[in-house]
Amino acid sequence: MSLQDQLLGHAADNDGIDEYDNQLPPWWLFLFFFTVVWGIGYGVDYHFISQRSQAASYDAEVLAAANKWPEQEVVASSGPATEQDLKAGKSVFDTNCVACHGANMEGGIGPSLVDAEWIHGGELADIVNVVTEGVPDKGMITWGPVLGPEKIGQVSAYVHDRAQRARD
């Protein structure tokens, strides 16, 4: 036996498998130390020199999406709605909402919109939010992308006005 083939004597502890104390080959040591140095250099470059990170990539992607699809604010006045808005809102309601809420807003598949009980709130802002976001758990689709901000504001004003008149 040479120095290269020195037995460590652990065969009895390891089910009869002999273990040798050999030096690692130079090419293996070179690759090991090269990957350690490369990893340290890459980490320094990634975080400090190039200023790249997952958080920065995410923020850039969200910013690009916001620029491509800007969020449009729904216009629903806090004061009384104009007759033109109410007329346009009635048209939108008749086209999209009658099937579930009924022609007189008395309910059907969807809840009544002219009683005193409002599941998600009866204020104008609440109505705008429900129409925009929908209630998928209850079967109401998200109308925001379908109708757009202007029509959502009109139909919300119409529903709010009719609900107020029914309560008074």
Residue corresponding to tokens 């959502």: 152
Q: Is the residue at 76 inside a domain? A: no
Above 80 in pLDDT, residue 133?
A: yes
Average pLDDT of the chain is 86
Phi, psi (rounded to 5 degrees) for 53: -165, 165
Lowest mean pLDDT among 5-14, 48-57, 124-133: 5-14
pLDDT for the residue numbered 1: 46
pLDDT for the residue numbered 27: 97
Domain extent, residue 144, equals: 83-167
**Boundary of a domain, candidates 24, 44, 68:** 68
Which CA distances in Å does 106 have to 14, 99, 154, 155? Answer: 81, 11, 20, 16
Count of structural domains, the chain? 2
Are both 10 and 60 inside the same structural domain?
A: yes
Above 60 in pLDDT, residue 3?
A: no
